[in-house]
Amino acid sequence: MSVRALFIGGAGSGKSAAGEELAGRLGGERVLYVATAGAGDEEMERRIAAHRRRRPAGWETLEAGGDLAPVLKRAAGMGAVLLDSLTLWVSGRMLEGAGDEEILESLDRFLRRAGSAAEPFVVVTDEVGQGVVPESAAGRRFRDLLGAANRRAAAAAGEVYLCVAGIPVRIK
């Protein structure tokens, strides 16, 4: 099983906290936190700082860019790996100019390789298909691409939790 659990939900749904809790139970102090968010402005810097304060000090952090292969190398020997979030990884790849197939193929390679890892992987992502249709073509492309990425991650996951109002509900 390439992914132990996938936590999916809307903004502020509690998905990151739920993913952190499971990663902590699985890995204790030996958790690799894979951060995919870049601090592009002061508001994002505050969000990232809040996430850091919530995590145990002993957890290792790896800031992942477009290539997820370094995650697999750093994961070796860890108690668990938490990737937060697939959403920001997809949007970052889009901003780098990567095409949809390139992004999905890269994700598929990561999921396959994670499948042979001894460490359990926990992935956090946003549900973007339950809202209104985005107004712009770029917004619709992002929604559709993240939806495809979420489906692939969910298929690879042993457990999938939909987070609503801070409550993770197991749906797989």
Residue 1: band (very low, low, confident or very high) from pLDDT cuts 50, 70, 90: low
Q: Which domains does the chain have, with CATH numbers?
A: 3-170 (3.40.50.300)
For CA atoms 96, 9, 34, 40, the dihedral sign is positive
At 56-104, the pLDDT tens digits run 888 999 988 788 988 999 999 999 999 999 999 999 999 999 999 999 9
Residue of 30, 51, 74, 143 with catalytic role = 51
Known binding residues for GTP are 9-16, 35-37, 52-55, 63, 84
Enumerate the known binding-site residues.
Answer: 9-16, 35-37, 52-55, 63, 84
> What's the CA gap between 161 and 9, in Å, rounded?
8
Average pLDDT value for the chain: 92
> Which of the two residues, 46 and 30, has the higher pLDDT score?
30
71 is a catalytic site residue: no
Whole-number pLDDT of residue 13: 97
**3-state SS track over 137-168:** HHHHHHHHHHHHHHHHHHHHEEEEEEEECCEE
